[in-house]
Amino acid sequence: MKKSMNERLAILSDAAKYDASCASSGTTKRDSSRSGGLGSTEGMGICHAYAPDGRCISLLKILMTNFCIYDCAYCINRSSSNVERARFSVEEVVWLTLEFYRRNYIEGLFLSSGIIRSSDHTMEEMVRIARELRTTHNFRGYIHLKSIPEASPLLIEEAGLYADRLSINVELPTDAGITRLAPEKRPSGIRKSMGDLRLKIEAANDATLQTKRRKRFVPGGQSTQMIVGADDANDTVILGTSARLYGSYALRRVYYSAFSPIPDASKNLPLIKPPLMREHRLYQADWLYRFYGFDIKEITASQPGGMLDLALDPKLAWALANRARFPVDVNTAEREMLLRVPGLGTKAVNGIVSARRYRRLRLEDLARLKVSLKKVQSFVVAEGWSPHRLIDRTDLRAMFEPKPQQMALF
């Protein structure tokens, strides 16, 4: 008997939850006031709900089907898993997206799929959904499509006309890891797909001499995801791979997904609690690399074994390992150095640089810029404040470490 809509929605959203991304930002601004249709995107993404796992829900994140001919060990939908299978028709996905959107539950659709029959067949169905939404239903909301590995470039090109973002997952930080855990996937094919997409996006962005108008093609760019903790790659390797992906394919984001136990798991994998803190530290390190001028080697140098410090955030860990560079005078230091002070974010640094043109800044001024004095005061000099060799204290690390907690008895 055919499963009901509700049952299939349960199966196909459960199957989609291991993809970390739910971003709906970074695309072009557009709305329906002229077209009289439905939907808008206005720069900043909106999280319409939060699940108790702390993750934002901004898109309807589902699989078209969780049948799959691939057998990737880390995936709940791999062919050797006994998970319940289901499938949506093109019309059903379109209907769900529009009805959810009208009630303001979501910002758009994030559609992925298991691979049925062939890569091209699967990709074709996904493109049909996006095309229906855009052309038949005049839908202007956000669409993120997961590219199917080895799908034909022509299909990817068509997908790019309708989607705000395309992504293809590199899955694991090393080629060897992919070969071992995802035997049907080819790492070089995934890189080629990302390279092709970057070239196409760049070509669409080149204003032609005649029109100056740019072609609309994947305005939200491309992203990818790496699973953390399913293989033995250390943080240095993971961050190195991210840096290469950012540099090579102009990715908007690399998502890190702590490997989470899945039902009916493969015997090749650790069935453990997902390493959430490690995932968090990787995101912090990723930010330091992209927005704070840190080099990957600097971030990982202070720790043995190529792993990030789990007890301290990577910027603080770097500062403690490089004490000679502190304290930093907030009234005179270069912007680049201010960005390296633990506790100062890009916004606070902008505030400091703006305000100090008119006034000498004191610690109270920093507090009003919403800076945590507890964190920052050991590392900065301000008007009326110098940290008195605080920086040389041997117990400085202990001051920042989380307080030891008594173990639960049971």
Partner 1 sequence: MWRVTLKGRGDFEAWQQPARAFLQAGTLPRDIDWVEEDGAAGDLFAGAPTLDLPQPSLQQTALTVPRTFVLLAEAVICHSDPSRFDLLYRLLWRLQMERTLLSIPSDADVARAFGLEKSVRRDSHKMKAFVRFKEIEGAAGQGERRRFLAWFEPDHHIVARTAPFFQRRFTDMDWIIATPKGSSAWDGKTLTLSTESAENPMLDDATDALWRTYFSNIFNPARLKVKAMQAEMPKKYWKNLPEAGLIPGLIAGAEASVAAMAARAASQPPLFHERLQTAAANAPSEVSTAVPGTLDAVREQARSCTRCPLHCRATQTVFGEGPETADVMFVGEQPGDQEDLAGRPFVGPAGKVFDAMLDEVGLDRGAAYVTNAVKHFKYEPRGKRRIHQKPNVGEVQHCKWWLKLELDLVRPKLVVALGATALSALTDSRQRFSDLRGTALPFGPDQTLLVTVHPSYLLRIPDEARKRAETAHFRDDLCHAATLLTRLPQTTTRSVGSRFIDS
Q: List, as own/partner pairs, every contact residues 309-315 make where C-beta atoms lie below 8 angstroms and the sequence separation is at least 24, other chains included.
A: 309/281, 310/277, 310/278, 310/281, 311/401, 311/402, 312/397, 312/400, 312/401, 313/281, 313/284, 313/342, 314/281, 314/284, 314/285, 314/288, 315/284, 315/288, 315/340, 315/342
Query: Which DSSP helix (H) or strand (E) runs through 109?
Result: strand 108-112
Regarding 42 and contact with partner 1 (CB under 8 A), the answer is yes
CA–CA distance, 89 with 129 (Å, rounded to integer):
9
Token digits for 87?
Answer: 């499938």
Token digits for 391?
Answer: 């920086």
Regarding 381 and contact with partner 1 (CB under 8 A), the answer is no
Q: Contact with partner 1 (CB under 8 A): which of 274, 306, 345, 387?
A: 274
Rounded to the nearest whole angstrom, what is the least distance from the CB of residue 319 to partner 1 in the complex?
Answer: 22
Q: Which stretch binds partner 1 (CB under 8 A): 29-37, 162-170, 217-225, 333-341?
A: 29-37
Q: Contact with partner 1 (CB under 8 A): which of 2, 212, 213, 267?
A: 267
Cβ-contact 137, 38 below 8 angstroms: yes
**Judged by CB, which is closer to partner 1: 158, or 184?**
184
254 CB contacts (<8 Å, ≥6 apart)?
223, 224, 225, 226, 242, 245, 246, 286
Rounded to the nearest whole angstrom, what is the least distance from the CB of residue 387 to partner 1 in the complex?
Answer: 19
Query: Which DSSP helix (H) or strand (E) runs through 227?
Result: strand 222-228
- Which parts of 117-146 interact with partner 1 (CB under 8 A)? 138
Question: Tokens 């173990």, residue?
Answer: 407
Q: Contact with partner 1 (CB under 8 A): which of 264, 334, 336, 401?
A: 264
Regarding 207 and contact with partner 1 (CB under 8 A), the answer is no
Rounded to the nearest whole angstrom, what is the least distance from the CB of residue 320 to partner 1 in the complex?
Answer: 25
Q: Contact with partner 1 (CB under 8 A): which of 72, 75, 233, 258?
A: 258
Q: Contact with partner 1 (CB under 8 A): which of 135, 179, 195, 346?
A: 195
Q: Which stretch binds partner 1 (CB under 8 A): 118-126, 217-225, 305-313, 365-373?
A: 365-373
- Which parts of 69-88 interact with partner 1 (CB under 8 A)? 69, 71, 79-82
Are β-strands 108-112 and 142-146 bridged in parallel, bridged antiparallel, or unpaired? parallel
**Judged by CB, which is closer to partner 1: 41, or 378?**
41
Q: Which stretch binds partner 1 (CB under 8 A): 119-127, 156-164, 270-278, 320-328?
A: 270-278
Regarding 220 and contact with partner 1 (CB under 8 A), the answer is no
- Which parts of 287-316 interact with partner 1 (CB under 8 A)? 289-290
CA–CA distance, 399 with 312 (Å, rounded to integer):
11
Token digits for 120?
Answer: 């091209």
